[in-house]
Structures are given as structure tokens and as C-alpha cells.
């Protein structure tokens, strides 16, 4: 099947992936643009999984100030090389995630950072709510687990739907970044400040 250079260019603009990979994806998917986008996303996740054990000592600290100085964010994102840390894909990702944190106000990077006491308290509250609504005792644990997943999507950065594209999570964006850069990338930590908070 003949793949036009316009299609390759369009796919490259949408995904940020290299020309040869875009061409290959379109060939694999018989020219179907949406399938090619999905194909490249899956490939990015595979690359991310292969690189999970690699060292990430490079990267950058990004910042974002919102609402005329009323909200500020600092974030550290790491990668394997200085070359990737300076790339447009990486820098734009850091900017986007800083802006996302300002808007979505997560508390932790990932679910494994949620303190045990907070998680236990949340489960206790959810169980009580389910009991009060008349749910049978035997399915309470299943209900609580389902609601804890929702808690993670509200409070943990990687599980949150990305504010500029709610069909994708921040984790999916991170996986795509690793697919584009060919390196392991990690959101190490962040701090969000809001004027007058906790006064």
C-alpha cells in the first residue's frame, strides 16, 4: 500500500514520533490514521515497560505561575540523558504537566505515595457510606475498591485525566513521551502553592 507523505506528516504532527515510525505505523494499519495513532501509543507503552529499570539522573525542574501569581507549581521530571532533557518533546511535557497540576491540584504523584493512614481513613469512610446506603455486607469490599480507584484518579497525578485531553491520563502522556524520546522518564516530585492556602 502506498502511504502519502502528507499522511506521514499529519501523523508526525499529531504524535511527535519520528517519520520512519509514522510511515511504518500507517503501513501496519493499512493507511487508517486513527489505528496508526493507537498503534504508536501501544508501541510507546512497550518501550516504556522495557526501560523501567534504567537510571534517570538527568531532566529538569519546571515551573508554572497561574492567575497572575495566585497559583504556582514546581515540578521535577527526570530522564536518562541531557540530550532528551533539552528536547522540545520533554520540555513541552514538563510545561503541560506543570499547568495540569495548577488546574487539577493533585496531592501525590502516584497511588503508592498515598500514606497508609489516609488510605485507611478513606476506606473506612467509603465503607460507612456504602453501609448507610443499604448495600449488602458481602459486597462492601468490592464497592470500596471501586471507589478507591476513583479516589486515585482525583488525587494522584499519574491517574488523573489530563486537563487538555481528558481521554488520556497523565500516565498515558508519560508513556507516550517515553515512546517518543526512547528513554525512561519519571515525574519525580512536585509542589503546588496557592495564595492564602492554610492561613
DSSP string spanning the chain? Answer: ----HHHHHHHHHHH---HHHHHHHHHHTTT-HHHHHHHHHHHHHHHHHHTTTS---EEEEEEEEETTTTEEEEEEEEES-HHHHTSHHHHHHHHHHHHHHHHH--SBSSGGGS-HHHHHHHHHHHHHHHHHTT--GGGHHHHHHHHHHHHHHHHBGGGSEETTEEEEEHHHHHHHHHHHHSS--EEEEEEEEETTTT-
Cα dihedral across residues 158, 159, 163, 167: positive or negative: positive
Q: Which fold has domain 115-154?
A: GTP Cyclohydrolase I; Chain A, domain 1 (1.10.286)
* CATH 1.10.8.10 domain residues, the chain: 5-50
**C-alpha grid cell, residue 113:** 505515595
pLDDT averages per 10-residue partition of the chain, 199 residues: 80 69 83 82 63 76 91 95 92 97 96 93 88 80 86 95 93 89 91 84
Whether the Cβ atoms of residue 162 and residue 169 lie closer than 8 Å to each other: yes
* pLDDT at 96 (0 to 100): 97
Residue 48: the pLDDT is: 57
The conformational region for residue 2 under phi > 0 = left, psi -120 to 50 = alpha, else beta, is: beta
Q: Which three cell numbers stand for residue 100?
A: 495540569
Q: Where in the chain are all domains bearing CATH 1.10.286?
A: 115-154
Q: Among the CATH numbers 3.40.50.300, 3.40.50.1980, 3.30.479.20, 3.90.1150.10, which is that of 58-109+156-194?
A: 3.30.479.20
CATH 3.30.479.20 maps onto the chain at 58-109+156-194
d(CA 54, CA 184) in angstroms, rounded, equals 7
pLDDT of 130 reads: 82
Q: Report pLDDT for 179.
A: 83
CATH for 5-50 is: 1.10.8.10
Interatomic CA distance for residues 3 and 24, integer angstroms: 9
Put simply, whether the predicted model's pTM sits higher than 0.85 gets the answer: no
Amino acid at each position: 500500500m502506498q502511504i502519502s507523505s502528507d499522511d506521514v506528516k499529519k501523523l508526525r504532527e499529531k504524535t511527535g514520533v519520528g517519520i520512519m515510525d509514522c510511515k511504518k505505523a500507517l503501513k501496519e494499519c493499512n493507511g487508517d490514521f486513527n489505528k496508526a495513532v493507537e498503534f504508536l501509543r501501544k508501541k510507546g507503552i512497550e518501550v516504556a515497560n522495557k526501560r523501567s529499570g534504567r537510571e534517570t539522573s538527568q531532566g529538569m525542574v519546571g515551573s508554572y505561575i497561574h492567575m497572575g501569581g495566585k497559583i504556582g507549581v514546581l515540578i521535577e521530571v527526570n530522564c536518562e540523558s541531557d540530550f532528551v532533557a533539552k528536547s522540545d518533546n520533554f520540555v513541552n511535557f514538563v510545561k503541560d504537566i506543570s499547568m495540569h497540576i495548577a488546574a487539577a491540584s493533585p496531592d501525590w504523584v502516584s497511588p503508592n505515595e498515598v500514606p497508609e493512614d489516609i488510605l485507611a481513613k478513606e476506606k473506612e469512610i467509603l465503607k460507612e457510606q456504602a453501609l448507610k446506603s443499604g448495600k449488602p455486607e458481602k459486597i462492601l469490599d468490592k464497592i470500596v475498591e471501586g471507589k478507591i480507584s476513583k479516589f486515585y484518579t482525583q488525587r494522584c497525578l499519574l491517574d488523573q485525566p489530563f486537563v487538555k485531553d481528558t481521554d488520556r491520563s497523565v500516565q498515558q502522556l508519560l508513556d507516550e513521551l517515553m515512546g517518543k524520546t526512547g528513554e525512561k522518564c519519571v515525574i519525580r516530585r512536585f509542589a503546588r502553592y496557592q495564595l492564602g492556602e492554610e492561613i
